[in-house]
């Protein structure tokens, strides 16, 4: 099934590229590498296509393959446990996948969409051995005030299917998400943006493999079956005459699991030559805990978890990205198409107060026509 999906996507890529590409058409090839201090690694090659097909209609396609590897659980005695006592990492355990061996799984993801002036539609589908995710999105935007102001609205509906390995259990989850964003030109060199995100999730929201020590027993975690979320954000973009720009973002989030969070994001872009653009990034994140989260459970409550994303913590992320335009590098011959392409390289370092660290690498090649 995986090979069939890859072949079908590549055939579509070749078919689209066989047609002469017009202005604003784009093909992007990127690969992400992620590794954390528990030994978990993720490799994610992806291909993206944006192409005008009829009039002002644009077709969008993205395919990605995530390969996740979780290391063996350490300190296992005669009876394996699906949770690493040191890291809390969870993975399925069975006769075919014992906890003393590494666990690897793959996820295929496809996003297809159509974009028109003021309207866009897209569909997302992902599949892995125990999870099928689907989401449909419709969005619209309107310019007014002599195009100095823009209002955009989007709605997402997601419906997922979860079938944990080693069981006959079937879970489902549905998601409704609404976004409204107002963008305003504040001056010839400054743009402001404000918006809200609202979502409601119902259905299974636990990790089917993560265990918790509650009341002296090892139990599968249990999260509430409903969650309402809300967020408000502000963004400011400022351009400077030295061919640089600064982007600042603030986001406040709250949900009915009693989690509150604050996020600050800063991006600084600087052209160091006509061909080289450097981007620096810093992100600060701070959140409180879910109402049912405890470090230890002396009894068995209605809800319980060992998920670090539900505990209070702060986190920092530092990043550097370089974009190099390959124009005039190869003018003639078979590789002349590279003259309109851009090479990308990115590194980000993440660390948090709950002793979680991660390294993220990305390499990409973007073909602009």
The pLDDT tens digits for 190-219 are 999 999 999 999 999 999 988 999 999 999
pLDDT computed for residue 312 by the predictor = 96
- Angle (CA) 28-348-265 rounded to 5° is 95
Q: Are 303 and 223 within 8 A, CB to CB? A: yes
- How many angstroms separate the CA atoms of 303 and 89, rounded? 19
Assess whether pLDDT exceeds 60 at residue 18: no
pLDDT computed for residue 38 by the predictor = 87
Tell which phi-psi region holds residue 6, choosing left (phi > 0), alpha (psi between -120 and 50) or beta.
alpha
Assess whether pLDDT exceeds 80 at residue 49: yes
- How many angstroms separate the CA atoms of 350 and 38, rounded? 13
Nearest-CA neighbor of 59 among 19, 16, 18, 20?
16
Mean pLDDT of 211-235: 95
Write out the two tokens for 265. 């994001």
**Which pTM value belongs to this model?**
0.85
Q: Which residue has the tokens 């590229």?
A: 17
Q: pLDDT digits over 133-162, tens only? A: 999 999 999 999 999 999 999 999 999 999
Q: Per-residue b/e over 309-321, b at no fewer than 16 CB within 10 Å?
A: ebbebebebebeb
Most confident range, picked from 226-230, 327-331, 354-358 = 226-230
Nearest-CA neighbor of 130 among 154, 107, 111?
107
Mean pLDDT of 76-105: 49
Using DSSP's 3-state secondary structure scheme, residue 18 falls into helix
DSSP 312: -
pLDDT computed for residue 311 by the predictor = 95
Nearest-CA neighbor of 223 among 134, 130, 301?
301
Assess whether pLDDT exceeds 50 at residue 189: yes
């Amino acid at each position: 099934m995986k090979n069939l999906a890859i072949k079908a996507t590549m055939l579509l890529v070749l078919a689209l590229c066989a047609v002469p590409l017009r202005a604003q058409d784009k093909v992007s090839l990127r690969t992400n590498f992620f590794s954390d201090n528990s030994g978990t690694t993720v490799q994610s090659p992806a291909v993206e296509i944006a192409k005008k097909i009829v009039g002002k209609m644009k077709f969008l396609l993205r395919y990605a393959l995530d390969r996740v590897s979780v290391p063996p659980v350490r300190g296992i005695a005669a009876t394996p446990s699906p949770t690493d006592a040191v890291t809390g990492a969870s993975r399925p355990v069975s006769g075919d996948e014992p906890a003393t061996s590494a666990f690897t799984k793959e996820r295929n993801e496809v996003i297809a969409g159509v974009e028109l002036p003021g309207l866009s539609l897209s569909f997302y589908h992902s599949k892995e051995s125990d999870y099928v995710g689907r989401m449909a999105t419709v969005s619209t935007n309107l310019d007014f005030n002599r195009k100095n102001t823009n209002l955009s609205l989007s709605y997402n509906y997601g419906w997922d299917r979860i079938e944990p390995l080693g069981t006959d259990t079937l879970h489902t989850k549905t998601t409704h998400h609404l976004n409204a964003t107002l963008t305003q030109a504040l001056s010839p060199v400054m743009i402001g943006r404000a918006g809200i995100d609202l979502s409601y999730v119902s259905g299974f929201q636990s990790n089917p493999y993560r265990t918790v020590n509650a009341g002296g027993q090892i139990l599968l975690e249990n999260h509430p079956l409903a969650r309402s979320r809300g967020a408000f954000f502000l963004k400011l973009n400022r351009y400077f005459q030295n061919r640089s720009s600064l982007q600042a973002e603030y986001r406040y989030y709250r949900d009915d699991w009693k989690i509150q969070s604050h996020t600050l994001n800063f991006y600084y872009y600087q052209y160091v030559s006509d061909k080289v653009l450097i981007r620096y990034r810093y992100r600060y994140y701070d959140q409180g805990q879910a109402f049912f989260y405890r470090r230890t459970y002396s009894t068995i409550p209605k809800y319980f978890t060992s998920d670090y994303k539900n505990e209070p913590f702060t986190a920092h992320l530092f990043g550097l990205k370089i974009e190099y335009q390959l124009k005039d590098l190869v003018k003639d011959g078979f590789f002349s198409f590279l003259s309109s392409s851009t090479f990308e390289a990115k590194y980000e370092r993440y660390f948090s107060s709950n002793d979680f660290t991660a390294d993220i690498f990305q390499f990409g090649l973007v073909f602009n026509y």
